[in-house]
Structure 1
């Protein structure tokens, strides 16, 4: 079976890199997949997997998503109503929460309870750490807890660029963290939903393994 992967374009995000990474992950792991960037709600009807990338400000990404006629309603129908596997990347993950506090308060999709709030990291000397958190950082998680992390080991590093972090209302929705002046949400998941705070498309072989896991995932 060929996986039909719809990558939504909300007007922000390095879509070409995301598409290339999915295609490379599928090739490396012998998964048949067709990856397509979409801006029309109708394009979600036949999708087997739906991906929402995003970078920049929460409010701008939400405006970009809302500007696509019928897209939010189509997401609700396909993802929430019909259980199509969904992956949010970076701000696309943040939009899965209740609201973001960047540039004012902006509602999210409300799929996983939580707020995206500004980070305030302190080093061991008590001094503020630089923001955004930019660069490679290690993941901390319980092995075997979620299929998206199959073949990944605690301590493996992925690439982050962010100044705001997802504060989950329910701890069980956080399946991996990283450390930057304390624990920071790295991966959230619930049912057929998964979200990655880091840029999985820039995270080398570890990122490609996660994308392949998402393509194989049967929640």
Structure 2
């Protein structure tokens, strides 16, 4: 099998060691590169777009480094692209965080705040951020192969995604409200949870991504 390169985009927001380690664990035959060089990303066979932190700071660096334009170009090539956590949120039109921030706009929709007085259906308070393990209800996309329905994934977020077009939803989760946990369109797939921190199910999703041809 010909060695393929996976580029993990580094725009200075968070330690990407755990993402790189998880990828190397599930696919030791592939070359994993953490990079802030657009040329390296453009040459890679697959792209991962992670993110942690405040969306204003993330978007400032994404725009400064030109990764907003680069991501649109990479999605247009048909190359498999995976967004993770704030990387998913940055692909939306707009986020309520930090008083309102315009994002890259590849997925049509909004990033919304759970709220300071968040409650479940019976009125019991829920902590924000949503932190820890939660069940995910998914469709039959290739990235869910060998991942049982209602598998648990690890989340850390105070804001959640609401996409405008339901046909783009690949998974949902409940935390006081039902929110869109995974989105997909063509060769682009994005998740709110951290697959690199989600043990067996998360590693399986990364393994599926590394063998995905970018088609549903």
Please give the TM-score of this superposition, normalised by the length of structure 2: 0.93
Structure 1 131/198 Cα, relative in aligned 2: closer, same or farther at 3 Å?
A: same
- Choose from 119, 124, 147 the match for 2:121: 124
SS at match of 2:104: coil
- Aligned positions of 1:1-219 closer than 5 A: 1-27=2-28, 32-68=29-65, 70-80=66-76, 82-120=77-115, 121-142=118-139, 145-218=140-213, 219=215
In the alignment, the residues of structure 2 paired with residue 71 and residue 168 of structure 1 have an alpha-carbon distance, to the nearest angstrom, of 22
Tell me the number of residue pairs that the alignment of Structure 1 and Structure 2 aligns. Answer: 211
Deviations 1:15-48 (A, max 9, x none): 0000001111114xxxx31000111111122111
SS at match of 1:103: helix
User: Gapped runs of 5+ residues in structure 2?
Assistant: none
In the alignment, the residues of structure 2 paired with residue 175 and residue 77 of structure 1 have an alpha-carbon distance, to the nearest angstrom, of 23
Over the aligned positions, Cα root-mean-square deviation in angstroms equals 1.3
- The answer (yes or no) to whether the contact 2:72–2:106 under 8 Å persists in 1 is no
- The answer (yes or no) to whether the contact 2:153–2:202 under 8 Å persists in 1 is yes
Shift of residue 71, structure 1, vs aligned partner = 2.8
Shift of residue 211, structure 1, vs aligned partner = 0.3
In the alignment, the residues of structure 1 paired with residue 60 and residue 193 of structure 2 have an alpha-carbon distance, to the nearest angstrom, of 21
In the alignment, the residues of structure 1 paired with residue 67 and residue 179 of structure 2 have an alpha-carbon distance, to the nearest angstrom, of 30
- The answer (yes or no) to whether the contact 1:59–1:100 under 8 Å persists in 2 is no
SS at match of 2:79: coil
- The answer (yes or no) to whether the contact 1:159–1:198 under 8 Å persists in 2 is yes
In the alignment, the residues of structure 2 paired with residue 71 and residue 112 of structure 1 have an alpha-carbon distance, to the nearest angstrom, of 16
In the alignment, the residues of structure 1 paired with residue 71 and residue 126 of structure 2 have an alpha-carbon distance, to the nearest angstrom, of 37
Deviations 1:185-213 (A, max 9, x none): 21111111100100111000111100010
- The answer (yes or no) to whether the contact 1:148–1:214 under 8 Å persists in 2 is yes
Shift of residue 58, structure 1, vs aligned partner = 1.3
SS at match of 2:43: coil
Which structure 1 residue ranges, 4+ long, deviate > 4 Å from structure 2? none
Please give the TM-score of this superposition, normalised by the length of structure 1: 0.92
